[in-house]
Amino acid sequence: MPVSKATKKFQKDKLGDTIKRRKDVAKIKQRKQMDAKKKERKARDNARADDVEEEAAAKRLKMNGAKDDKLGEMSMDQFFQGGFQIPEMSKKKTKPKTGKRKRTPVDEDASEGSDEDMAEAPGAADDSGSDSESGDDMDTHKEQLAGLAEKDPEFYKYLKENDAELLDFAEDADLAEIDALSASEDEATPRKKHKADEAETTGNDLTIKTVQKWKSSMESKHSLRAMKEVVLAFRSAAHMNDEDSGKSYKYSITDPDVYHQVQVTTLQLVPKVLQHHLPVKESAGGKIRVPTDTKKFRTLTPLLKSHTVSMHHLLENLADAKTLKMTLDSLSSLLPYVLSFKKIIREVTRSVAAVWADSSNNDGTRVSAFLVLRRLLVIADPSIREAVLKQTYQGLVKGARNTTVHNVQGINLMKNTASELWGIDPTVGYTTGFGFIRQLAIHLRTSITNKTKDSYKTVYNWQYIHSLDFWSRVVSMHCESLREAEAGKASPLRPLIYPVVQVTLGAMRLIPTSQYFPLRFQLVRSLLRISQATSTYIPLAPALIEVLNSAEMKKPPKPSTLKALDFNVSIRATKAYLRTRVYQDGIGEQVAELLSEFFVLWTKNIAFPELALPVIVMLKRWVKAMTKKSGGNKNNKVSSMLALLVQKLEANSRWVEEKRNKVEFAPNNRAGVEGFLKEVEWEKTPLGAFVAGQRKTREQKQKMLDDARKTEDKKRKEAEMEGKKNGEVFEDDDEEEASDDEEEEVDIEGLSDEDVDMEDDDEEESDDE
C-alpha cells in the first residue's frame, strides 16, 4: 500500500520528536515503578525490624527483672549519689560473660618487642570505650574546625592567633595514644616510681638527667613512650629561637648541654626505635615495604608527622655543619615512614635541595643532602620523583648564579651529582628533562626574535651556561655507548641529545663578538663531552675557525700588563682585555686545544683524512697570512701553536690512509667501517700521542696554579687573623670578586648596539681583506 503524503510529511518533520517524547515518558514511568518497589521493600523491612525489637524488649524485661526491682527500691537521692551508675547484676550470671567480653584480643604486631607484650589491666575495656568516644569527639571537632575555616576564615585566623591550643589539641591527643603501645613499661615500672617520673618531667625546664633516662629507655627497651617525649623535646629545641610564633611547647630548654643531648638522642635513636617496632623491608631493586596497614603505624602517624616537620624546620635554620649532616643522615633513615605524607615530603625536599645547592656548606654536608635526594628517588613513586627532580634542578640553577675560582668545584659537584639522579628513573627523567630543555630553547628564541638592547641577557649568563653544561653531563652519563651496549638497549634519555646540541649551537652564535669568546669555549667543551660519550658527530670546527677569522685575532695586539684571563671561570672578557696580547694568546691557546680535542675523537675513524682536510687548508692559509711581513697579527706564539697542530693532523691523516689502503672491505660494509682500527688505542695514534702530552702539561700547570692559590689563601687568612688581633679590618676576597662581577654586569648593560655593530664591521673588513 503506498504511503500517503501526510505520512511522509509526518515522518520528515515530527517523527524524531515523537519518538524522543515517547522515550522520555517511558523513562518517567520506569522511575515511578522503581520508587514504588523501593517503598514496598522498605515497609517490609521496617515491619520485620519492629517484630525483632519487640522480641528483644521482651527478653530484656525478663533478664532485667531483678535490676528493675533494685531501681524501684532506690530513692531519688540514692540514684543521684551513685553517679548515674547502673547497679551490677548478680555475680552468678555476669562473671563468665563479662570476663569474655572485656578481654580484648592482643594485636599480632604487639608480640614483637618489650613494649608490645601488653596484658590488659582490669577496666581496659572501659578505657578503650572512652578512647573511642573521645576519638569520635575529636573527629567531630576537627570537622567543625574545618567547616569554620571555610565559612568564617577571619574568625578562624583570630582563633589561630589567640587560642592556638584549641586548634592544635588534636596532635597532642593523637600523641597520647602512643602510651597505649607501651603498656609493658607500666608493668615493669612500679606505680610509685612511674608517678615520680611523671612529676619530674611535667615541669617546663628540661634537665640532662631526664634526657639520659629517656635515652636509656630507648636503647635498652626501645621505648615508644620515651621516644614520644624525646620527639616533643626535640620539637621544642627546633623552635627554640622562634620568638614571633607565639606557640607554647611542653618543654623549655635553657641549658646548651641539654639542647645538644636532645638533638643527638633524637637524631640517632628515633630511627632505631622505629626500625625495631616497624621494620622496613627493602628489596634488591631498592623497593621498600613498610607495614602501614597496622594499628601501630596508624598510632605513630601523628608522631612521625610532628618529628618530620620539626626536622624540616631545623634544616632551614641550622648553620653548624656537623649537626646539619647528622640531621640529614637521620632524615634519610626516616624517609620510608613518611612517604605517604606527600605535602610534608615536598617541603622537606625543597629544604634538602637548598642545603645541597648552598655553596657555603662543606662538601660532606652537600653529599649527605644528595644521598637523601637519591634515596627518595629510589623508594618513591613517580609523582614524588618528578617533584624531587624539579627541586633539584631549581636548586642547581639558583646555586650557579655566580662562578669564581673558589666555588667552581662546588658547582661541578652539583652538576655531577644531579646528573646521576636523572638516570634512576629514565622515563620520569626524560619528561622533566625535555620540559627544562624546552624552556631553555624558548629563552633562546625570545632573545633572537626580540631585538632589544637587553634581550641577550636571558641567555648570556652563568645560569644558562651551567644549565646547558648540566644537560650535556646528563646525556653523556646515561647515553654512553658502553653503558648502552651493556644494557642491550638505547637509553630513554638518548632523544634529548638532539635538542641539547641544537640549543647549545644556537646560544654559541647568538652574539659572535670577541667579548664572548670565553662563553663560546665553555659551550664547545660541553658539546665535546656529548660527542665523546655518545659517539655523536657534532660539527664544532666551523665555530672555532670563526674565532680565528675575527678581527680580534687578525690585527696586531697592543701590549698590556693584565694577568692572563682564566677561561675556566669566565664567559665574558672585559673591555680592558680587547685587542691585548694576553687576550689574543689566551684565545689562540683555547682554539688550538679545542681543535685538537675535537679531532682526537675521530683519530681512528676511517674518514679522518676527509674530515681534517678542510680545516688543514684553512689553518695553513691563516698561518701564512699572519706571518707576512707586510701584515698579520705579528703573534708568533699563536702561529706556531697552530702550525704544530697542522703537522699533527697531516701526520694522522697519512697514518690512517696507510691503514686504509690495506683493508679488503668495500665502503658500504658498515661492520667493517665501524671495526676499523678498533684494536688500536687512541693514545698510540700520531694525533692521540700529541693530545695526551698536551693534557699532561695542562694538568701540571693547573696543579701549580692551584697550589699557588692555596698558599695565597693561607697567607691571606693568617694576615686576617693578625689584623683582627690588632683591630684592623680586611675585606673578604670573595666579596671583592662578587663586586667585580657586579661591575662586569654593569659593563654588560652598557654594551650598546653600536659596539656590536663596530665589532661586526671589523670582521667584515677583515673578510674583505
Secondary structure (DSSP) of 534-581 = H------HHHHHHHHTSHHHHSPPBP--PPPP-GGG-S---GGGTTBH
Residues in Cβ contact with 418 at an 8 Å cutoff, skipping those fewer than 6 apart:
370, 392, 393, 396, 470
* pLDDT at residue 767, as a whole number: 42
Task: Taking residues 157-174, report their average pLDDT.
Answer: 50
Instruction: Compute the distance between CA of residue 131 and CA of residue 127 in angstroms, rounded to an integer.
Output: 6
Instruction: Compute the distance between CA of residue 192 and CA of residue 200 in angstroms, rounded to an integer.
Output: 12
Q: Where are the domains of the chain?
A: 148-380, 512-662+679-727+735-768
pLDDT band at 242 (very low <50, low <70, confident <90, very high): confident
Number of CB atoms found within 10 A of residue 675's CB: 13
Q: 119 — phi, psi (to 5°)?
A: -110, 120
pLDDT band at 713 (very low <50, low <70, confident <90, very high): confident
Report the SS3 class of residue 107. Answer: coil
- Of all helices (H) and strands (E), which one includes residue 288? strand 288-289
Instruction: Compute the distance between CA of residue 379 and CA of residue 393 in angstroms, rounded to an integer.
Output: 20
Query: Cα 508 from chain centroid?
Result: 30
Strand segments, DSSP code E, in 303-454 are none
Task: Taking residues 192-210, report their average pLDDT.
Answer: 62
Judge whether 687 and 651 are in contact, CB under 8 Å.
yes
Instruction: Compute the distance between CA of residue 401 and CA of residue 481 in angstroms, rounded to an integer.
Output: 33
Q: 424 — phi, psi (to 5°)?
A: -70, -45
Q: What predicted TM-score, i.e. pTM, was given to this entire model?
A: 0.71
Report the SS3 class of residue 195. Answer: helix
Model pLDDT for residues 28-57, shown as the tens digit of each residue: 888 888 888 888 887 877 766 566 556 655
pLDDT band at 160 (very low <50, low <70, confident <90, very high): low
Q: Domain 148-380, CATH 1.25.40 — does that match? A: yes
Q: For cell 560473660, name the residue.
A: 97
For the purposes of burial, counting CB atoms within 10 Å of the CB of 268, is it exposed (0-12), middle (13-18) or buried (19 or more)? middle
**DSSP 8-state assignment for residue 118:** -
Q: 289 — phi, psi (to 5°)?
A: -140, 120
Judge whether 117 and 181 are in contact, CB under 8 Å.
no
User: Has residue 505 got a pLDDT over 80?
Assistant: yes
* Per-residue cell: 82: 551513685
Report the SS3 class of residue 588. Answer: helix
Mean pLDDT (the chain) is 80
